[in-house]
Chain A
Amino acid sequence: MAGIAELRKLRGSAPASIAPSERGDNKAALLFLGPWFIGLLLITVGPILASLFLSFTDYNLLQPPSWTGLDNYARMLDDARLHQSLRVTFTYVFVSIPLQLALALALALFLDRGVRGLPFYRSVYYLPSLLGGSVAIALLWRQVFGTQGLVNQFLGVFGIEGQGWVSHPDTALGTLVILNVWTFGAPMVIFLAGLRQIPEMYYEAAQIDGAGKVRQFLAITLPLLTPIVFFNLVLQVINAFQSFTQAFVVSGGSGGPVDSTLFYTLYLYQKGFGALDMGYASAMAWLLLAIVAGLTAINFVVSKYWVFYDD
């Protein structure tokens, strides 16, 4: 969680104080930072600039890029599939993340206070987070929510005839939301760590003052946990916008049925690496960057009103 705190504080002091005996390590720095520096130049900054350039061109890998100005961005305004992919992605992010974080917090609170066997429960709940991004789990999901899948077998026990959840446009996205919520173990572990850092004496003092459990939660736990909530929120939003594997595998790469699981990154992949419309894909990448950066900035600004920092 330090990454965020670090950025927050960056305008203040230097990252760490350096002993005066170590002034002027420029040569050594060149050696140690060399690989990182080359990587930054060739693999990150160079491609960022190239991608910005390409976003103003028409380029299919075979002919040299031809400058088309703002055409790609203008095309976005009329691209119904792009709008659909934005709808799908925003729905996915704004439905699954609150659910995921709420579940993570609830279980962290439940587990925090003296449960025997905590390491065991924590492992069981965390395991899906670890495996969730794999193709194997996405394939499993395809089956679990398929016409003859586990969910329908279960419903069949109660005499309910289920449908093919992944093959129906109304429910396909829902199955992916469930998949993301299922991986709540990672934020849960972060919440647990955060709860550990709340000094026990606060609760003792509150108890002496006669505060009940609810009061303690609202007056102590929740305010002191807001930095962690914020950290989880920023991180999960950034990650969720870039989700790809699940939608690709569950829909067989199409984003179907009827584009109901057409994640933004999936559409970008189709445009860039399927249709070789590299200029358009680059413009899409920049829109994604703008959205993610914008939401993160909003998160930071709004955080002033609800995140409580102890320091």
Chain B
Amino acid sequence: MTDTATSLPTRTPGAVAGPRPPLARRRPTARARLRTVLKHAVLIAFGLIMIYPLLWMLASSLKPSALIFRDPSLLPSEIDMSNYTVGWNALSHPFSHYLLNSAVLVLGALLGNLVSCSMAAYAFARLNFKGRKIWFAIMLMSIMLPIHVVIVPQYILFSQLGWVNTFLPLIVPKLLATDAFFVFLMVQFFRGLPRELDEAARIDGAGHVRIFAQVMLPLSVPALATTAIFTFIWTWNDFFHQLIFLTKPDMYTVPIALRSFIDSSSESSWGPMFAMSIVSLIPLFLIFLLGQKYLVKGIATTGIK
């Protein structure tokens, strides 16, 4: 379990997923069957408690505001979409504006992390250069550094550059591979790829750029997908940086826009707020459905949430 390369996506299919075969095959007795039923009952009940707040929010977003506080049931007696239309236009811009801002940010972060982190990872995994061990150690340590230690000087730097209220403070660091976690993830993955492949390419006269682009990257789809999925989720949810660097309503992203609903937290605004909360969760939910395989393996091997 110390060697991630062997347990990264595709290396050991089913290492995380498939159910373990039962110890001994026996014909299920009535008692065993009862136990199975009980077990599932417990698992379903517990799962329902876990998910209930989410379902309740969804149901509430479809109820007239007055009913949210009186009727705890999940099935609205009548479906009312007005929370969505009201919420969409409740702030200074239509909600699509904030969705678009978040989308731009996510795309920029994706591009940055995928390109620069994989490049750095290639160097650590395959190149022999001076001080490699030391730089690698520094990279590992930078993963654990609390962002609060650097955020004040970063803010000063970016405000001097006139970058506050642009997306640059949020995208440029990603272009510079500051999400070292992904560098590490890909180093581990690259190490698991057979060396014979790049040796062969080298004999054929390929340089490092070609080996990287045409041999390593195509084989690294699982690692790249994991990076992309987690970059998406982190950037979409990243409230702290966006709160600090984006203060003009023009530049607001989804989390910052949602947060502005607090200021008008009278009872009548809960419905629209829930509606927009649901809208903000839809992209995460889609990523969850599409990327489950990578999500589970990524988290099992690296511990990123």
A, B from the same assembly: yes
Q: A residues engaging B (CB < 8 A)?
A: 1-3, 5-7, 9-10, 14-16, 18-19, 21-26, 28-36, 38-40, 42-44, 46-48, 50-51, 54, 61, 107, 110-119, 121-137, 139-144, 148, 150, 153-154, 157, 182-183, 186, 189-190, 192-194, 196-197, 200, 203-204, 207, 227-228, 231-232, 235, 238-239, 241-242, 244-245, 248-249, 252, 265, 268-269, 272-273, 278, 281-282, 284-286, 288-289, 292, 296, 311
In the complex where A2-B302, A288-B149, A292-B146 touch, is A245 in contact with B128 (Cβ < 8 A)? no
Contact between chains at B50 and A182 (CB < 8 Å): yes
Contact call A35/B116, Cβ cutoff below 8 A: yes
A15-B124, A140-B277, A183-B305 known; A273-B140 Cβ under 8 A? no
In the bound complex, residues from chain B placing their C-beta under 8 Å from that of A281 are 152
Residue from A7, A24, A186 within 8 A of B299 (CB atoms) = A186
Q: Kindly specify which of B78-86, B89-97, B181-189, B217-225 makes contact with the partner chain.
A: B181-189
Contacts of B149 in A (CB 8 A): 47-48, 51, 285-286, 288-289
8 Å CB contacts to A: which residues of B249-265? 254-255, 258-259, 261-262, 265
Chain B residues near A131 (CB-CB < 8 A):
54, 281, 284
CB distance from A109 to the nearest CB of B (A): 12
Contact of B273 among A9, A48, A139, A231 (CB under 8 A): A139
A281 to B146, CA, bound (A): 14
B152 touches A2 (CB 8 A): no
B72 touches A16 (CB 8 A): no
The answer to whether A23 and B128 have CB atoms under 8 Å apart is yes
Q: Knowing A1-B4, A42-B176 touch, does A28 contact B127 (C-beta < 8 A)?
A: yes
Query: Are B127 and A22 in touch, CB under 8 angstroms?
Result: yes
Taking the nearest CB of chain A, how far is it from the CB of B277, in angstroms?
4
Chain B interface residues (CB < 8 Å from chain A): 1-4, 7, 15-17, 19-23, 36, 39-40, 42-43, 46-47, 50-54, 56-57, 69, 72, 115-117, 119-120, 122-130, 132-133, 135-157, 159, 173, 175-178, 180-181, 183-184, 187-188, 191, 195, 199, 202, 207-209, 212, 233, 236-237, 239-240, 243-244, 254-255, 258-259, 261-262, 265, 267, 270, 273-274, 277-278, 280-281, 284, 288, 292, 295-296, 299-303, 305
Interface majority SS on B: helix, strand, loop or mixed? helix
For the complex formed, measure the closest distance between the CB of B305 and the CB atoms of chain A, giving whole angstroms: 5
20 contacts between A and B (CB under 8 A): A2-B184, A16-B125, A28-B123, A31-B209, A39-B178, A44-B145, A44-B178, A48-B145, A113-B22, A115-B19, A115-B43, A126-B299, A127-B50, A135-B239, A139-B261, A189-B16, A193-B300, A238-B146, A284-B148, A289-B149
Closest to A245 in B: B239
B150 adjacent to A44 (CB under 8 Å): yes
Give the residue name and chain of the A residue nearest to B71 (CB): A153
When chains A and B are docked, how far (Å) is the Cα of A25 from the Cα of B126? 9
Contacts of A111 in B (CB 8 A): 43
On whether the beta carbons of A241 and B146 are closer than 8 Å, the reply is yes
A139 to B126, CA, bound (A): 46
Query: 6 closest Cβ contacts across the A-B interface?
Result: A39-B176, A193-B300, A29-B129, A136-B277, A47-B153, A50-B153
